[in-house]
Chain A
Amino acid sequence: MGNEIKLKTPLSDEDIEKLKIGDKVLLSGIIYTGRDAAHKRLYALLKTGKPLPINIKGAVIYYVGPAPAKPDYVIGSAGPTTSYRMDPFTPFMHEKGLKATIGKGNRNKDVRESLQKYKGVYLAATGGVAALIAKSIKSAKIIAYEDLGAEAIRELVVEDFPCTVANDCRGGDLFEQGIKEFKI
């Protein structure tokens, strides 16, 4: 395993440069949620040059559709969803200033190249540990696309959100390297 690094959003190029695959990241600050349906809408806005409901410069997007919050909870269980479904949208979003995405599973070549080109990272969170991850989310509010229910865009304030650098800005790929190391 790599180093343990604490990061605060929004992220800068310098933040990104110090990360390498395998590093454990504890992320704090504001992050945005978004998955399939929200990405479709964000992408359409970006393509036509219209303003986005989020500030994308230095932003972190977490691919998640949380469960509803029980009374006295700020959010329900909230683990990552599979990232490859967002691959078609991600490079263009990095071009526009997005710095990191959080999800599960590997990314395609276009996304990995865009991380190098625009200095970004892909962070892997553990799928299916959604009650545990929700403990690091301190507040949640819907800021766009309420009609999408679980898929609406939420602004989350997180504290020490646990994730691992899976793709860094130098072309490193933890999925590839991890499998190589343990394949028999």
Chain B
Amino acid sequence: MREVNTKEIVDVVARLCMDANYNLPEDVLDTIKKAKEKEDSPTGKAILDEIIENNRIAREEKLAICQDTGFALFFVELGQDVHIIDGNFQDAINEGVKKGYQDGYLRKSIVNDPVLLRVNTKDNTPAIIYTDIVPGDKLKIIFCPKGGGAENMAEVQMLTAAHGIEGVKKFVVERVRKSGGNPCPPVVVGVGIGGTFERCAMLAKQALLREPLGAPNPDPKFAEVEQELLEEINKLGIGPMGLGGRTTALAVHIETYPCHIATMPVAVNLNCHVARHKSAVI
């Protein structure tokens, strides 16, 4: 049994909030730079240049890459031999979010009740925390600030076996086409297939966290579908910010899970070009 103090969790989370919002992962930036070389649309190329320049400014001056610094999502892998002391784990994460968003001059975008009152909580809490218990005595925290624009373009469809892989592909491409410029393309396309209604949505979200960007699914059959989908999506012509071009998606990541004999749920979750996430191990 190893003890982890909540004070350390607060500090680590606060640091992650700032780091993720200022510094785009290198693999994402590299993919954007490569896409720029292949972009035929002058407007599209100019937008990709702006994106690269914006990331330079954000990194150098420690500014939010995007003003929408997102819903604070956490994916936690808690080693079963870790004992958290000196307070409550969830409170510690929320405390870290509060501190990180305050000290980091990040926007607070959360309202207390989704429909009736919609009053801003003013500290970007509560966070959303998913926890997995894993072997070992380490605590891994992955932080992913998720902006509203791209999140609004997500969808789950309860397809069935009869739709087959063609049904899945059609749904994914259509979802990206209908989203147009709204999710701030070039996007990362997260696809979850299998499990249940909520599980496939979760898989689609987790697909957005795959490192490095564009790494293939370990199953070659799905890796092939990822490649095919990326090509199809980049034929849509949507381009950077939806103003026309070749670079609509940077990558397609598929995650799967076994499913019930009667079902084949599929979820699509998009990330914008500000495909942020950072992790830390305590």
Contact = CB atoms under 8 A, between A and B. Distances in A.
Interface of A: 1, 22, 37, 64-70, 76-79, 81-82, 84, 104-106, 124, 126-135, 148-151, 162, 164, 166, 174-175, 177-184
Contacts of A174: 243-244
B66 A130 contact: yes
A67 B67 contact: yes
A84 B47 CA distance: 21
B245 A129 contact: no
B47 A77 contact: no
A67 B105 contact: yes
Contacts of A77: 58, 63-67
Contact of B245 (A68, A84, A149, A178): A178
Nearest to A85: B152
Given A81-B149, A132-B53, A183-B237, A127 B66 contact: yes
A124 B243 contact: yes
Interface of B: 40-44, 46-47, 50-51, 53-54, 57-58, 61-69, 105-109, 118, 120, 122, 147-149, 152, 180-182, 184, 235-246, 272-274
30 contacts: A65-B109, A67-B67, A67-B106, A70-B63, A77-B63, A77-B64, A79-B66, A81-B149, A82-B149, A82-B182, A104-B241, A126-B47, A128-B184, A128-B272, A130-B65, A130-B66, A131-B54, A131-B65, A133-B54, A148-B120, A149-B122, A150-B67, A175-B244, A179-B236, A179-B242, A180-B237, A180-B244, A181-B237, A182-B244, A183-B237
Given A64-B67, A166-B243, A177-B244, 17 more contacts: A37-B118, A65-B67, A66-B67, A67-B106, A67-B107, A70-B63, A104-B241, A126-B240, A128-B66, A129-B54, A129-B66, A130-B65, A131-B58, A131-B64, A150-B120, A178-B239, A179-B180
Nearest to B181: A105
Contact of A127 (B63, B69, B149, B235): B149
A131 B143 CA distance: 21
Of A129, A175, A179, chain B has the most CB atoms within 10 Å of the CB of: A129
Contacts of A67: 63-64, 67, 69, 105-107
A132 to B, nearest CB: 4
Contact of A78 (B46, B67, B182, B237): B67
Nearest to A66: B67
A182 B51 CA distance: 20
A120 to B, nearest CB: 19
B68 A81 contact: yes
Contacts of A106: 180-182, 242
B273 to A, nearest CB: 6
Contacts of B62: 70
A23 to B, nearest CB: 11
A129 B65 CA distance: 7
A85 B240 CA distance: 20
B69 A179 contact: no
Contacts of B243: 124, 164, 166, 174-175, 178
Nearest to B234: A184
